[in-house]
Structure 1
Amino acid sequence: MESKTPKFDSLLDEIFEELSPHTRPCKWSGEHKHCEGQFEITSEDIEFLKMLRVPAPNFCPTCRRMRRFLYMGMFQFFKHKCDVHGHKESMISTLPPERPFLVYDYKYFISEEFNAFTFGQEYDSNISPMETLFQLRKIFPMPSLTNRDPSSVNSDYSNGGRNLKNGYYAFGCYGSEDIWYSHMAGSSKEVMDSSFVYKSDYIYNGFHIDNSYKSSFIYFSKDCADSIFLFDYRNCIDCFGCVNMRNAKYCIWNQQVSKEDYENFMRINSPFSRDFLNESKEKFWQSVKSNPMNASRNTAVKNVTGVLLSNTKNIYDITQSENSEHIRHADGGLSNKDSMDFLYSGGHSELLYSTTNIGSQSSNVKFSISSKFCTNCEFIFNSKNLDNCFMCFGLQNKSYCILNKQYLPEKYFKILDEIKSDMMKRGEYGDGVEMQFSAMPYNFSLAQISFPLTDEEIKKLGGYIAKEPETNAGNAQFISTKDLPQVINKVSDDIINFGIKCEVTGRPFRIVESELQFLRKMKLPLPSTHPSLRLQQYLYMAPLGKRHQALCAKCGEAINSLFNPKDGYILYCEKCYQQEVY
């Protein structure tokens, strides 16, 4: 097939002719403590680079991850004024008041009132293409939220996701109802302080839970009900403080008891006091560490290097992916194939390179952020339903656009070839955008969870820092957690009028009425820590982009581990683990 960008393709082919496996220095070498310094370009990398039609990267895999992770926030909301001329109202935003760019209310941003073409610019060959892109970045507004379904109901404090009802501090949740302080709850109801919960109802403090009901403090479990403190459980009911059990009923601390003894134990301890749960939590995690665990948390995989993988094959250096194949150096893939260097890709996407939050049936997308339903696009941001677009912001349902201006196809490809060729000659093509492009502060991004930096390091690399969002407590009185009732049935309705001081940070937070009703149903005490800490606990438990090298404690095989061997876990390979628990 005849090339539509012959000049660029000729330059790239010349590079490929000379490209062979080698070691090269990272561009950020010596700039921060996480950089790998020297890194390899392998024959497998080259295979992908040729398939995706991009030159070899100049950053090591770790630094490339940092640059992608910077564009995803870590569960914070701010309130500040909308920057639309004439708008005086405050809006809910994932971006702080200190953000370097304009921010428009999300509903206005996606409405027909907003015309992204008014920011369009002509390509000037006398100016660096990346400088031109950055100039457009500086004047084009950011949406206050990212990819939120406008049809969601009563979910103003939510970001991402779709078809959500009654979501409060809900992130990436879909097809769900009554969700509080949770991330990635799908097809679920009544879920609080949880992450990656699917087809489950009445879940509190759950992590990677599937098809479960009315359970609290449960992790990596499936088909469970009416239980508390479970780790890696399958098809169990009425259990407390148990690890690695299958098809169990009426168990306490991994010991079988009678129905009468179990019910008596629950009757004595319910409603659960904060002290009882804290003591049980400590004992529970000691039990987790004293039992073997599936180090990688991988299931149904073939020829993989990574952790938290299911139904995947032929992938390398991946964390959290399912139903995917033939991908490298990526995190958070769902039904993805033939891609490299992406963070979060959902919904049957392919041929992605150097992207963050690109998904929903996208194909051949490179160097792009927070867009969906896009094909044959590069350097696109906060857009939807695009085909053949380059260096564009905030477009919807458009084709053949460059720098937010639309062209006829023939002229589009002519200008595209000129720009990409110019970028290649200037050494600007291949590594995506710099940290200065991000409206997200580094200290509130996923990058800070997996690759923490000091304030000085952040500024040196071109990022910025923001303050903690203020809690709007109004004229409410404050109460310390030590003065909170130990049990929920002693909490009065007027607690929603008080501000509670977090026992860790001292930062105040509020209890909303629906949250109070949920805790009463579950017979659980009021939380004692700020919601932001409760949300972040799972990011620290299984940080994206992080995998550890370990040896199986039973057979000695070298394995990838989600868990750090230094933390004292008994780590098994998948084969030995299956033999142990089944």
Structure 2
Amino acid sequence: MNLETRQCQNCHNDFVIEPDDFDFYKKIDVPAPTWCLDCRMQRRFSFRNERHLYKRKEALGGKEIISIYSPDKLLKVYSHKDWWSDKWNPDDYKKEIDFSKPFFGQFKELLFEFPWAALFNTNSVNSDYCNYTTDNKDCYLVFGGDFNENCCYSTFNFHSKDTADVYWVERCQLCYETTDSKNCYRVFFSKYARDCNNSMFLFYCSGCSNCVGCVGLRNKSYCIFNQQYTKEEYEKKMGELGLNSRSGIQEFKRKMSNFVLKFPHRYAQIIKSVNSSGDNIVEGKNCKRCFEITGPAEDLKDIFLGGLNGRDLSSCDHLGHGVELAYDSWAAFGGSSNIAFSLWTRTCHNIRYSYALTDCSDCFGCVGLRNKQYRILNKQYAKNEYEALVPKIIQHMNDVPYLDSGGRIYRYGEFFPAEFSPFAYNETIAQEYFPLNKKDCLEKGYQWKDLETKNYQATINPEELPDKIEDVSDDILNQIVGCAHKGECDEQCTTAFKITSQELQFYRQMNLPLPVFCPNCRHYQRMKQRNPIKLWHRKCQCAGKQSENGVYTNTIQHQHGDSPCSDEFETSYSPERPEIVYCEQCYNTEVA
């Protein structure tokens, strides 16, 4: 088919469906979307609460548990252990299809009758306050991170140890306030650091040790703001910078933010990949408009956070580990295939409109099943009955569509309405990537959760905290620290927080000052360091001998000589941003 422009049913903006999209829809046997890419992603994100945890009573035994579902939600919630146990039978929850009612409404009834797992936290040891994680030990408030030990306040950290306040790091140890980094030891306040140690404030550096405030260096030691020093000079300078104090760190952050703008930025982090666009892609082939892809991965389009032997995936997020042929879904794992309009499927095949299935195949509109086949709304059918009934249900979904509270029409081919989510919009990652205020949120048909009145008051204000960790006594463990944002930000501020013994030990070991922001605000500050999951078409800003803005002078002649580079690309740096953006070749000529 030819390229086609449609109007999004949700935001009413035009969006384009390309010929290869139609080929994919035919392959997986679904209709073309009526919502644009961003609105589809926002809708899926509104079902994923990663980091908001609550205490509530378990429905099965009445004990107090940690849960992603707040106690005011009228849900049947089981502990993670009991949800997977044989203390109850998922087969007790099923429905007969009723062709007089919209299918989506019937699925919603089943969904909210069924027990919900309090957390997704597998094989953890002393790591109760973690979610969407597996195989963590002695971790606290880790979300989406696996195989870690003694880590806290972190998201998407993997195989790391003794690390705090990081985002998307792998095989790091004793690191702090660092994002998008790998194989680092004792690295603080850095981004895109690889194989570095004993360093602070690095940006796009690799193989560096004992460096501070450096950009684009490779295999260097004893550098400050890219200037080379002897070991003795470096140690003297470090003593003068005062980076063991909060005030010294804040001053250095200000200088560093200006310093990084003097250097070219790579248009995208696309490594060992072929015919791919997006950002943070490693070992991808034919990955278009994709973000956070860890390969090998092939034939992906509009994917956020996936890969690991995934292929033939479109408009999905948070999936991988051998998944093949999936569309408009999230959290599909374990070699699942032919998945559409579903959430959290593991080792499943031929699934539509389902949630939390394991080792299932040929299921339509099912919830929480394990090792089942030929189920509709959890009811068992014979193979021939199932195959005859599914086309009738699809036709019924088109003939008797569901209308949500905003009047949007849901026929076969739409993901679940956001009003089916058990979470308020601002409890989910949708608020992180598509932020809304309360008024706009409610107008768009999402739920909103007001900040709960806390039964505590800060006993110490952030400005009263010592500037250096050496001046902090153990009494800080008994204090409630007021967050510097005071709940006046848009970052889900908790207004106050406590210092745990685990993190106090870490700050002392690393000689770092105490934080003055609550964990939520710190998380949002790290998120703001990262580029958006959106692309702009731009031209390389290398003008020949220097950058277009004249700030950076090239250190070597480029292939295009003194003439401006003609390369164009898709980048997550928007045109109005101040960074100097170079194409792959120009950047590598200067830095690699």
Contact 1:450 1:543 in 2 (8 A): no
Residues 1:28 and 2:28 are matched in the alignment: no
Equivalent residue for 2:501?
A: 513
Contact 1:471 1:509 in 2 (8 A): no
Contact 1:435 1:461 in 2 (8 A): no
1:452-467 paired onto structure 2 within 5 Å:
452-467=435-450
Amino acid at match of 1:580: E
Q: 1:435 to 1:100 in 2, by over 3 A?
A: farther
What SS does structure 1 have at the residue aligned with 2:541?
coil
Equivalent residue for 2:514?
A: 526
What SS does structure 2 have at the residue aligned with 1:204?
coil
Shift of 1:541: 2.7
What SS does structure 2 have at the residue aligned with 1:443?
helix
What SS does structure 1 have at the residue aligned with 2:486?
coil
Deviates more, 1:391-400 or 1:182-191: 391-400
Equivalent residue for 2:136?
A: 164
Equivalent residue for 1:359?
A: 333
1:328-367 paired onto structure 2 within 5 Å:
328-335=301-308, 336-367=310-341
Residues 1:188 and 2:147 are matched in the alignment: no
1:284-363 paired onto structure 2 within 5 Å:
284-323=256-295, 324-335=297-308, 336-363=310-337
Q: 1:541 to 1:141 in 2, by over 3 A?
A: farther
What SS does structure 2 have at the residue aligned with 1:452?
coil
Q: Say what the alpha-carbon RMSD is for the aligned residues.
A: 2.0
Deviates more, 1:127-136 or 1:454-463: 454-463
What SS does structure 2 have at the residue aligned with 1:156?
coil
1:47-126 paired onto structure 2 within 5 Å:
47-82=23-58, 84=59, 87=62, 89-99=63-73, 101-126=75-100
Q: 1:410 to 1:119 in 2, by over 3 A?
A: same
Shift of 1:99: 3.7
1:435-446 paired onto structure 2 within 5 Å:
435-446=418-429
Residues 1:224 and 2:196 are matched in the alignment: yes
Quick one: distance in 1 between partners of 2:444 and 2:83?
A: 30
Shift of 1:138: 2.9
What SS does structure 1 have at the residue aligned with 2:272?
strand
Amino acid at match of 2:42: M
Equivalent residue for 1:397?
A: 371
Quick one: distance in 2 between partners of 1:152 and 1:471?
A: 29
- Cα deviations by residue, 1:432-484 (Å, 9 ceiling, x for unpaired): 211111112111222222222332332233320113366675xx861111111
- Cα deviations by residue, 1:263-303 (Å, 9 ceiling, x for unpaired): 22334556700000011111111111221111212222222
Q: 2:468 aligns with which of 484, 487, 508?
A: 487
Quick one: distance in 2 between partners of 1:223 and 1:21?
A: 44
In structure 2, the gaps of 5 or more residues are: 402-410, 488-494, 543-564
Amino acid at match of 2:213: G
Q: 1:96 to 1:566 in 2, by over 3 A?
A: farther
Deviates more, 1:234-243 or 1:411-420: 411-420
Bigger share in helix: 1
Give the TM-score normalised by the residue count of structure 2: 0.89
Q: 1:314 to 1:481 in 2, by over 3 A?
A: same
Equivalent residue for 1:39?
A: 15
Amino acid at match of 2:386: Y
Contact 1:384 1:397 in 2 (8 A): yes
Equivalent residue for 2:491?
A: none
Quick one: distance in 1 between partners of 2:116 and 2:453?
A: 21
Q: 1:469 to 1:201 in 2, by over 3 A?
A: farther
Shift of 1:544: 5.7
Shift of 1:117: 1.7
Shift of 1:161: 1.9
Quick one: distance in 1 between partners of 2:519 and 2:453?
A: 13
What SS does structure 2 have at the residue aligned with 1:281?
helix
Quick one: distance in 1 between partners of 2:453 and 2:166?
A: 23
Bigger share in strand: 1
Residues 1:547 and 2:535 are matched in the alignment: yes
Deviates more, 1:358-367 or 1:243-252: 358-367
Q: 1:469 to 1:381 in 2, by over 3 A?
A: farther
Give the TM-score normalised by the residue count of structure 1: 0.90
Contact 2:243 2:249 in 1 (8 A): no
Quick one: distance in 2 between partners of 1:193 and 1:374?
A: 34
Shift of 1:565: 3.7
Q: 1:258 to 1:70 in 2, by over 3 A?
A: same
Amino acid at match of 1:546: K
Equivalent residue for 1:7?
A: none
1:141-220 paired onto structure 2 within 5 Å:
141-146=115-120, 148-149=121-122, 151-220=123-192
Q: 1:108 to 1:470 in 2, by over 3 A?
A: farther
Amino acid at match of 1:136: L
Contact 1:104 1:142 in 2 (8 A): yes
Q: Percent identity?
A: 32
What SS does structure 1 have at the residue aligned with 2:43?
helix
Q: 1:295 to 1:314 in 2, by over 3 A?
A: same
Shift of 1:356: 1.5
- Cα deviations by residue, 1:365-385 (Å, 9 ceiling, x for unpaired): 110112322211111212322
Shift of 1:100: 6.0
Residues 1:434 and 2:434 are matched in the alignment: no
Quick one: distance in 1 between partners of 2:52 and 2:576?
A: 30
Quick one: distance in 2 between partners of 1:443 and 1:306?
A: 26
Q: With a CA cutoff of 8 Å and minimum separation of 6, indicate the structure with the bigger relative contact order.
A: 1
Quick one: distance in 2 between partners of 1:472 and 1:255?
A: 51
Contact 2:132 2:143 in 1 (8 A): yes
Kindly tell me the number of residue pairs found equivalent between the two proteins.
Answer: 552
Q: 1:131 aligns with which of 92, 95, 105?
A: 105
Quick one: distance in 1 between partners of 2:479 and 2:220?
A: 42
Contact 1:133 1:391 in 2 (8 A): yes
Amino acid at match of 1:325: E
